[in-house]
Amino acid sequence: MSHPREVLLGAQSGAGLLPVCDHYSGVEARMRKSLQLQREMAQEFGTCVFDVTLDCEDGAPVGGEVDQANMVVALANSAQSAINLGANEVVPRVGVRLHAVDHPAFLSDVETIVGGAAQALSYVMLPKVESVVDVDRALRAIDAATPIQAQVLPIHVLVESPGAVHRVYEIAAHPRVQSVSFGLMDFVSSHAGAIPASAMGVRGATDSHGLDQFHHPLVVRAKTEIASACHASGKVPSHCVVTEFSDSAAMERAARYAASALGYTRMWSIHPSQIRPILKAFSPSAQAVDQATEIIVKAHAAQWAPISVAGALHDRASFRYYWQVLERAHQTGIAMPAELSSFFSA
C-alpha cells in the first residue's frame, strides 16, 4: 500500500518537510560552531532537527563580500565532505543567504557560492524579495551558475516590506519557492515611525498592553498574510527572529504562539540557546502523538476508509491532520512508535 504521505497529501506530499528551526550565523567562528552543533544534535535525535543558514547578507563586512562568499563555500563543502567520508550518519542541511538581487554583490555571491558549493547546499535564501520578478531574476543567475551534475536548488525568500506582503500570495505560489520568511525589523522600519520600536520585540509575560511583535495589528496582519499565502500553496511559513535570546522562557513562549496561533511551521534562530526552545515549542505533546498514532494505525488497517475512535468519526480530512502531527513529531526529534517506524525509515 502507498505511503500515508502520498495517500493523504497527494500532490503536496513533499511540502512542509523542513526542519522547524532555521539557525542563522554569519561570523566564521559561529558558523563552525553551528555546523558542529547540528552534527551533535543530529546524532542525539537521529535526524537533522535544524537547518544552518550561512549568512552573506548581514555576515559580510562592507568590502569583504568576496571573502565571505569563499568562506561559505569552504564551510558548506566541508560539511558535505564529512558525510561523504562516513563521519556522520545524518545528512546535514546547510543553506546560504545571499545578498539581495539588486545588491552589487549578488551576482558575485551566486557565481562563487552556487558555482562552488551547489551540491552541498539544501537551499538558497533570497532577502528583500519584492515580487515574483525578483524571484525569476535571481533564479536566472542561480540556475546559470549551478553545475550540470548538481540538484536544482530550492529557493527560500524573505519578505520585508508592506509591498512584498501585499504580493506574498504570488511569491509563495512560485514553483521554486519552498519557504517564505518574514523580515520583522525591515518591515517595522519601512513604516517611517508609524509602528513603535516595541513591535520589534517581545513583551514580558506580565505585560498585557504592550504592542510587541505579537500584538501590533499591522505586524500581526503581515505575519498571518504570509502564513496563509504559504499554506495556500503548500509552502513553509518561517517565523522571524526573536532578539531576546538570553530569555529562554520568552523565546519558547514566542515560538509556541507563532506555531499555535499564527500558523507557522518553522522559525528562525540567531543564537544556539534558541534552538531547543524552538524545537520544544513546535513539538506535538506526548498526548497528541499518542492520539495521532492510534488514529493513523487504525486508518491504515482500514485502508483509509472512515473509522471510529473514542466515539468520534474520522475520515480522510482528519487522517491528514493527524498524519501531519506525526510528521511534525518526527521533524522535532521525537522517537516514533514502533508500529509507525516503517513510515519514517530513511
Q: pLDDT over 90 for what percent of the chain?
A: 78
Return the pLDDT at 1: 55
Mean pLDDT computed over 247-275: 94
Q: DSSP letter at 46?
A: S
Question: 133 near 101, Cβ under 8 Å?
Answer: no
Question: 262 near 225, Cβ under 8 Å?
Answer: no
DSSP H/E element including 180: strand 177-182
Q: DSSP letter at 208?
A: S
As annotated, the binding site for Mg(2+) includes 160, 186
The rounded distance, in Å, linking the Cα atoms of 207 and 182 is: 24
Mean pLDDT for the chain overall? 92
**pTM for this structure?**
0.92
SS3 291: helix
The rounded distance, in Å, linking the Cα atoms of 78 and 88 is: 12
Please state whether 128 falls in left (phi above 0), alpha (psi between -120 and 50) or beta.
Answer: left
**Digit-coded pLDDT (tens) for 136-171:** 999 999 999 999 988 899 999 999 999 999 999 999
Place of cell 521554486: 176
Q: pLDDT over 70 for what percent of the chain?
A: 95
Domain ranges of the chain: 4-282, 286-343
Orientation of helix 286-301 relative to helix 316-331, angle to 10°: 130
Kindly tell me if the per-residue pLDDT of 2 is higher than 70.
yes
As annotated, the binding site includes 97, 160, 186
Residue 114 C-alpha cell reads as 552556487
Which of 3.10.580.10, 3.20.20.60, 3.40.50.10490, 2.40.10.120 would CATH assign to domain 4-282?
A: 3.20.20.60
DSSP assignment of 220-254 equals: HHHHHHHHHHHHHTT-EEEE---S-TT-HHHHHHH
Q: Which residue has the higher pLDDT, 87 or 121?
A: 121
As annotated, the binding site for substrate includes 97, 160
Question: 16 near 327, Cβ under 8 Å?
Answer: yes
